[in-house]
Amino acid sequence: MSKMFVDRARITIKSGKGGNGAVTFRREPYVPEGGPDGGDGGRGGDVVFVADRNLRTLMDFRYKRKYEAENGQDGMKRKRFGKAGEDLEIRVPMGTVVIDEETGLTMKDLTENGQRFVAARGGKGGRGNVHFKNSVRQAPNFAEAGGEAKERQVILEMKLIADVGLVGFPNVGKSSLLSVATSAQPKIANYHFTTIDPNLGVVNIFDDSFVMADIAGIIEGASQGLGLGFRFLKHIERTKVLIHVVDVSGSEGRDPRDDFDKINAELAAYSPKILKKPQIVAANKIDMTDENSKEYLEFKAHVEDAGYKVFPISAPLNLGVKELLSAALLKLQRVEQSPAEDEDPAQYFDFEADQADPEYREIQTGYDEEDGVYTLRGKQLDKIFRSTNFNDMGSLRYLYKYIEKRGAIDRLKEMGLEEGDIIRIEDYDMEYWDE
């Protein structure tokens, strides 16, 4: 049984935390006072998206919403490194756009089979105590904590990858045309919004082939989001050629000329670039009218005046379909042979800015009036704080010297800090004494 077509999902991803560095010392026969030999922690696993041509829907993400990579292993004695956390691969259909929910910016557009993209990097492994030995500190009883995991909410948005897209109002015969032209077997019935999910099929013609998509029916106001407008329209963006299917029989009391104008107006309102795509018009249900009728000739003249060629067809009877597809193939070949137009500059997620945090080393000072304590906060401070061995004077001195060098102690003194006052870091309270 085929899965329901889902083209948008919201998930949470989290990379692995880096392993902590080890605090160990050589303890061997004949070496009773060996030096530090704590190894580094392993890096945390990355979260990686992989494009897969065998997937057709984002349905699986409806059932699982959180994805976490493996944490890195802590370092070990004898300078042994902790094992790196396993990367987490998340396979998505080709044509999936990964969007950062917080900023709304595109992180990656996965258009090629096997294409990989790291969306959240794992934390770095912390350094073992062997790195903190110096001429003064011969036996450092502390190590570095592993880097924090990266967690973010992302939007997955799938856009079909097809050479030719079928557009038009509901119930004009797009699904019938697709089923006749390809091996696709869409469900067809005589009511509006017959095709809720886009369908794909391969057209084989003249020892050549192309992928054709039936884009679900567009209604008036779709470009403003009416109905399922945005869901429908976005699938047209990647197509290279459009076949605009119009019911020329007027079987439902509609004016074909009006239908033609309204669909193109919706396409233009959604994205002016779409109307620049080559477009040919399939005048469907010609068997229910007459090519010499006044109504058809007026429609043909109207479309040709707009610069488009008209092909009279009857999809169920397979009349004129080959001629239509031949014209589509010719336009597709011309597009593929033409130099690509410069795309509008897209605003992409800035990974460098995301990784480079100018406030990483900054320490924020404050005073909690309710508890009567001074407070210190900072990202690097938090990391060093988590690495501190509070039973070791050398480790405590390392923490204090860092805070002092960043100017935080002087700023607290300006705020009124005196000996005997309490300084709070995270949920740990320390009494201040001037050295």
pLDDT tens digits along 58-105 = 888 988 999 999 999 999 998 999 999 999 999 998 889 899 988 888
Please report where in the chains the tokens 């460098």 appear, as a residue.
352
Dist CA 41 CA 43 (whole Å): 7
Question: Closest by alpha carbon to 37, among 127, 123, 147, 125?
Answer: 127
Q: Are both 218 and 247 inside the same structural domain?
A: yes
The domain tally of the chain equals 3
Residue 1 placed within a domain: no
Residue 342 placed within a domain: no
CATH of the domain at 178: 3.40.50.300
CATH of the domain at 59: 2.70.210.12
13 beta partners: 67, 152
310 beta partners: 281
Of 337, 367, 382, the domain-final residue = 337
Dist CA 383 CA 262 (whole Å): 59
Percent share of the chain, pLDDT over 90: 37
Q: What is the pLDDT of residue 272?
A: 81
Is the model's pLDDT at 245 over the cut of 80?
A: yes
Is the model's pLDDT at 194 over the cut of 60?
A: no
Q: Are both 83 and 176 inside the same structural domain?
A: no
Of 123, 158, 193, the domain-final residue = 158
Residue 35 placed within a domain: yes
CATH of the domain at 392: 3.30.300.350
Residue 425 placed within a domain: yes
318: left (phi over 0), alpha (psi -120 to 50) or beta: left
Residue 345 placed within a domain: no
CA-angle at 273, arms to 336 and 264, nearest 5°: 110
Beta strands in 112-259 (DSSP E): 116-120, 151-158, 164-167, 199-205, 208-214, 241-247
Q: Are both 203 and 276 inside the same structural domain?
A: yes
Q: What is the pLDDT of residue 224?
A: 47
Is the model's pLDDT at 175 over the cut of 80?
A: yes
Question: Closest by alpha carbon to 95, among 38, 165, 35?
Answer: 165
Of 288, 309, 337, the domain-final residue = 337
Instruction: Please answer whether residues 288 and 256 qualify as being in contact, where contact means their C-beta atoms are separated by less than 8 angstroms.
Output: no
Q: Are both 184 and 331 inside the same structural domain?
A: yes
The residue that leads in pLDDT, 152 or 237, is 152
100 sits in which H/E element: strand 96-100
Q: What is the pLDDT of residue 217?
A: 54
**Domain interval for residue 20:** 8-158
Confidence of residue 349 (pLDDT cuts 50, 70, 90): low
pTM for the model stands at 0.65
Instruction: Please answer whether residues 281 and 241 qualify as being in contact, where contact means their C-beta atoms are separated by less than 8 angstroms.
Output: no
Q: Which residues, at least 6 apart from 113, have a Cβ–Cβ distance to it below 8 Å?
A: 51, 52, 53, 94
Q: Are both 322 and 177 inside the same structural domain?
A: yes
Residue 60 placed within a domain: yes
Mean pLDDT of 271-291: 89
270: its two tokens = 């959604």
Mean pLDDT across the chain: 83
Instruction: Please answer whether residues 11 and 156 qualify as being in contact, where contact means their C-beta atoms are separated by less than 8 angstroms.
Output: yes
Of 35-49, 98-112, 196-210, 339-353, the one with minimum mean pLDDT is 339-353
Dist CA 393 CA 152 (whole Å): 38
Residue 213 placed within a domain: yes
pLDDT tens digits along 371-420 = 899 999 988 888 888 888 777 777 788 888 889 898 999 999 999 998 88
Cα separation values, 406 from 274, 400, 428, Å: 55, 10, 20
Confidence of residue 231 (pLDDT cuts 50, 70, 90): low
Is the model's pLDDT at 11 over the cut of 70?
A: yes
Percent share of the chain, pLDDT over 70: 85
Q: Are both 284 and 378 inside the same structural domain?
A: no
Query: Dihedral (C-alpha) 170, 257, 335, 268: value to the nearest 10 degrees?
Result: -80
Q: What is the pLDDT of residue 22?
A: 92
Q: What is the pLDDT of residue 197?
A: 54
Q: Are both 177 and 154 inside the same structural domain?
A: no
Q: Which residues, at least 6 apart from 292, have a Cβ–Cβ distance to it below 8 Å?
A: none
Q: Are both 170 and 144 inside the same structural domain?
A: no
Secondary-structure percent of the chain, ordered helix, strand, coil, rounded to 5: 25, 25, 50
Q: Are both 318 and 175 inside the same structural domain?
A: yes
Q: Are both 332 and 373 inside the same structural domain?
A: no
Residue 305 placed within a domain: yes
Q: Are both 81 and 205 inside the same structural domain?
A: no
Q: Are both 248 and 387 inside the same structural domain?
A: no
